Chain A
Amino acid sequence: MYWNDIFENFDFLMSGLVVTIQLALLAVIGSLLCGIVFGVLRHSKIPVISFLAGAYIEFTRSIPLILFIVFIHFGFLPLILGEASTFFQSACVALIAFTSAYVAEIVRSGLNSIDKGHIEAAKSLGLNWFDRMTCVILPIALTRMTPALVSQFISLIKDTSLASTIGLIEFTRSGEIIYERTYHELEILIFIALTYFAICYSLSLLSKKLESKPYINKDSENLKQLKELA
Chain B
Amino acid sequence: MIKVEKIYKAYKNFDVLIDVSAQVEKGQIVAVIGPSGCGKSTFLRCINGLEKVSKGRIYVDGKEVTAPDTNLNKIRSEVGIVFQQFNLFPHMSVKENIMLAPVKVKKISKSDADQIAMALLEKVGMLDHAHKYPEQLSGGQAQRVAIARSLAMEPKIMLFDEPTSALDPKMTNEVLDTMKQLAQDGMTMIVVTHEMSFAREVANKIMFFSQSRLIEEAAPDKFFHNPQSEITREFLRSVLKLEV
Binding site for B on A (CB under 8 A): 115, 117-118, 120-128, 131, 135-136, 139-140, 143, 214-217, 220
B40 is an interface residue with CB less than 8 A from chain A? no
**A-B CB proximity, top 5 nearest:** A126-B77, A121-B87, A125-B101, A117-B87, A126-B76
Across-interface contacts of B87 in A (CB, < 8 A): 115, 117-118, 120-121
B172 is an interface residue with CB less than 8 A from chain A? no
Q: Distance in Å from the Cβ of A139 to the closest Cβ of chain B?
A: 5
Binding site for A on B (CB under 8 A): 48, 50, 72-81, 83, 85, 87-91, 93, 100-101, 104-105, 131-136, 146, 149-150, 153
Whether A136 lies near B133 (C-beta < 8 A) is no
Residue of B91, B93, B149 with highest tally of chain A CB at under 10 A: B91
Whether A140 lies near B90 (C-beta < 8 A) is yes
Give the docked Cα–Cα distance between A132 and B135 (Å).
21
Whether B135 lies near A215 (C-beta < 8 A) is yes
Asked if A125 meets B50 with Cβ closer than 8 Å, knowing A117-B83, A118-B87, A215-B133, the reply is no
Whether B89 lies near A136 (C-beta < 8 A) is yes
Q: How many pairs, one residue from A and one from B, have CB atoms within 8 Å of each other in the complex?
A: 77
Whether A124 lies near B80 (C-beta < 8 A) is yes
Of the A-B pairs whose beta carbons lie under 8 Å apart in the complex, a sample of 12, sorted by A's number, is A118-B87, A121-B83, A121-B88, A123-B73, A125-B76, A125-B150, A125-B153, A126-B77, A127-B105, A128-B105, A135-B104, A215-B134
Q: Which residue of B lies closest to A220 (CB)?
A: B131
Across-interface contacts of B149 in A (CB, < 8 A): 125
Q: Which residue of A lies closest to B81 (CB)?
A: A124
Whether B101 lies near A117 (C-beta < 8 A) is no
Of A122, A131, A217, which contacts B131 at CB under 8 A?
Answer: A217
Q: Which residue of A lies closest to B133 (CB)?
A: A215
Of A126, A131, A140, A214, which contacts B74 at CB under 8 A?
Answer: A126
Q: Distance in Å from the Cβ of B130 to the closest Cβ of chain A?
A: 11
Q: Which residue of B lies closest to A119 (CB)?
A: B87
Whether B48 lies near A124 (C-beta < 8 A) is yes
Asked if A118 meets B89 with Cβ closer than 8 Å, knowing A124-B76, A216-B136, the reply is yes
Q: Which residue of A lies closest to B135 (CB)?
A: A215
Across-interface contacts of B105 in A (CB, < 8 A): 125-128, 131
Q: Distance in Å from the Cβ of A42 to the closest Cβ of chain B?
A: 23
With A117-B85, A123-B50, A128-B105 known, 14 other A-B pairs at CB within 8 A are: A115-B87, A118-B87, A120-B83, A121-B146, A123-B72, A124-B48, A124-B50, A124-B150, A125-B101, A126-B105, A127-B73, A139-B91, A215-B91, A217-B131
